Every structure is written in C-alpha cells, then in structure tokens.
C-alpha cells in the first residue's frame, strides 16, 4: 500500500497538463483528489479519469486569481472529504516576450495567475494542512531560479513563488508541514501551445523551445518523489542543479552569453 493511500489532495490547474497528470498519478496511489480549474467540462473529464482508480474525485470550478473562489474550492474539498493533506499549486500561464516590448496588463495577468494564484490557494489551505501535518507543493520553473531572456515576467512570477515557499518552509517547520517546490524546464503540456506574446495574446505560432521538452510523466515523477520524501526541492532535469552551481561559480558570465544566443528577441 502506498504511503499516500487515503490522503486528500487539492490540485490547482487540475483540468489539464501537469495538474491533471499529477491528480491521476496520486489517485493511482490511493489518494482522493479534488481538482481546481476554470473549465467545468475539462474538470469533470479529469475527475472521471481520477475515479477510474477507485478513489473519490471532486471538481471545484474556480479562477485562481479570485481569492474568494479559491477559498470556496478549499472549503468544498474539506466539506466533502473531511480534511486536506496535500495542496499542489500547478495552475500557470506562460509568456515569452522581451520585457520592454510587453504590455503592462499582460505582465500583470501573468503575475496574477502564477503568483497570486499560488498565494491564494496556499493561504486558504494552510489551516487545514497544519491539522494533518501535510504538504504544500508549488510547481515553479527553472526560470524561477535563473533569469532567462524573453521570460522576464514568467520568471519573475516563478521567483516570487519560490521565495514565498522558501519562507513558508521555515515558518511552518514547527507545525510539521512539508513545503516543497518543483522546478522543471520545458514540459510537454497544453501550456506550450498557449504561450502569450508581448500583447498578452497567445502567439499564433509559439516560439520553439531551444532546449529539450520533457514528457509530463517525468515532471509528475519529481512531484511524487518530493511529496513522498517530504523534500524541499526537485529539479527537472536533475543535472540542472549542477549547471546552476556552475553558473554561480562563473558569476553568470557563461550562462548570460549562452542564454542570449538561445533566446534572441522574438518578432512580434
């Protein structure tokens, strides 16, 4: 029997991509899963997939940028299952554009979804997760650990999530709450086909990633290992830690030059 059997999980961004795949994997391990997202039809379909594993699922339609809607989703989860053991913040919005060319309202929307969406869910979940000595997990990005040209706003939102969770790790240690961050590189999800440009609208043809795009299951593997092992961090790929260390040793000189070539300004 899995160590997570019987646990109750709430996942934001649960109707597709990393969120949905994580929900299905946790369901296969015996977890009851609540999925939060805006698309009710997609949520219902994801819940049906979760329930094929013999566990209970729950669709909680909500916009992560609305604190009251997120609170209602957390409350609905606790009302149905009687507890909340694990929160996974997976909702996200990608944007690839040089900062000076970007519209401010587009920048603000990325911050609302990626940072405030995680912040609201975490804030409302903390009282419940403290009771179960459970886990708070945020899906961040390698762009939240190293500045990447053309991902200034997306990276800033992920840096903010990482900073929040690093502080929470210390603040909640006495309450025996596990706080962890998963930072993947490019992952093959629907997010890849809905990358925003400088005007806040999806690119008609999304810019091609200059590095490998990893399968969703690899990211989910990292998330599960982080939760089961109650680890503070997981990277995808694993060797990214070595590269980040080398980047610091060279004061970013090598990384700056390489990234400037790999991520040139995109044409609007």
Q: What is the pLDDT of residues 188-238, one digit of tens each?
A: 998 888 899 999 999 988 788 888 999 999 999 999 999 999 999 999 999
User: Quick one: average pLDDT of 232-254?
Assistant: 93
Q: pLDDT digits over 1-14, tens only?
A: 789 999 999 999 99
Coil vs helix vs strand at 135: strand
Asked whether the predicted pLDDT for residue 267 surpasses 70, the reply is: no
User: CA–CA separation, 44 vs 60, rounded Å?
Assistant: 9
By percentage, how much of the chain surpasses pLDDT 70?
A: 99
CA distances 220 to 35, 129, 200, 204, 235, Å, are: 15, 21, 28, 28, 11
pLDDT reading at 88 higher than 90: yes
Q: Which of 120, 151, 154, 165 is catalytic?
A: 154
Q: Is 95 helix (H, G, I), strand (E, B) or coil?
A: strand
Rounded mean pLDDT of the chain? 95
The answer for 13, left when phi > 0, alpha when psi is -120 to 50, beta otherwise, is left
pLDDT, residue 265, reads 80
Q: Which fold has domain 8-262?
A: Rossmann fold (3.40.50)
pLDDT attached to residue 192: 80
Residue 237 and residue 41: Cα distance in Å, rounded? 33
Q: Model pTM? A: 0.95
Q: Averaged over 262-267, what is the pLDDT?
A: 79
Catalytic, 120? Answer no
Is residue 98 exposed (0-12), middle (13-18) or buried (19+ Cβ within 10 Å)?
middle
The DSSP string of 32-68 is EEEEEES-HHHHHHHHHHHHTTTS-EEEEE--TT-HH
Residue 121 has phi, psi (to 5 degrees) of -60, -40
Cα-Cα-Cα-Cα torsion 7, 11, 17, 21, nearest 10 degrees, comes to: 10
Does residue 124 have a pLDDT over 90?
Answer: yes
pLDDT at residue 16 greater than cutoff 60: yes
Q: Name the DSSP letter for residue 101.
A: G
Q: Is the pLDDT of residue 248 over 80?
A: yes
* pLDDT reading at 268 higher than 70: no
The reported pLDDT for the residue numbered 209 is 86
Domain boundaries, the chain: 8-262
Mean pLDDT of 172-192: 94
User: Could you tell me the CA-to-CA distances from 251 to 43, 158, 178, 236, 244 in Å, in that order?
Assistant: 45, 21, 32, 22, 10
């Amino acid at each position: 029997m899995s160590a997570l059997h019987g646990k109750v999980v709430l996942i934001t961004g649960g109707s597709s991509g990393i969120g949905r795949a994580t929900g299905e994997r946790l369901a296969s391990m015996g977890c009851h899963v609540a999925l939060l997202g805006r698309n009710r039809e997609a949520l219902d379909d994801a819940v049906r997939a979760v329930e094929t594993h013999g566990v209970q699922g729950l669709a909680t339609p909500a916009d992560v940028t609305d604190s009251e809607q997120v609170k209602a989703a957390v409350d609905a989860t606790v009302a149905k299952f009687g507890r909340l053991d694990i929160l996974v913040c997976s909702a996200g919005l990608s944007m690839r554009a040089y900062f000076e060319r970007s519209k401010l309202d587009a920048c603000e929307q990325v911050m609302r979804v990626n940072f405030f969406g995680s912040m609201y869910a975490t804030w409302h979940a903390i009282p419940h997760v403290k009771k179960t000595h459970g886990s708070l997990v945020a899906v961040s990005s390698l762009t939240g650990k190293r500045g990447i040209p053309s991902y200034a706003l997306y990276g800033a939102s992920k840096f903010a999530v990482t900073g929040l969770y690093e502080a929470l790790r210390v603040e909640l240690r006495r309450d025996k709450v596990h706080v962890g961050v998963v930072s993947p590189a490019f992952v093959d999800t629907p997010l890849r086909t809905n990358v925003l440009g400088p005007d806040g609208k999806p690119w008609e043809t999304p810019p091609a990633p200059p590095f490998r795009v990893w399968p969703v299951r690899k990211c989910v593997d990292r998330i599960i290992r982080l939760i089961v092992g109650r680890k503070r961090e997981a990277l995808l790929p694993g060797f990214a830690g070595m590269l980040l260390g080398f980047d610091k040793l060279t004061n970013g000189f090598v990384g700056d030059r390489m990234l400037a070539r790999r991520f040139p300004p995109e044409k609007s």
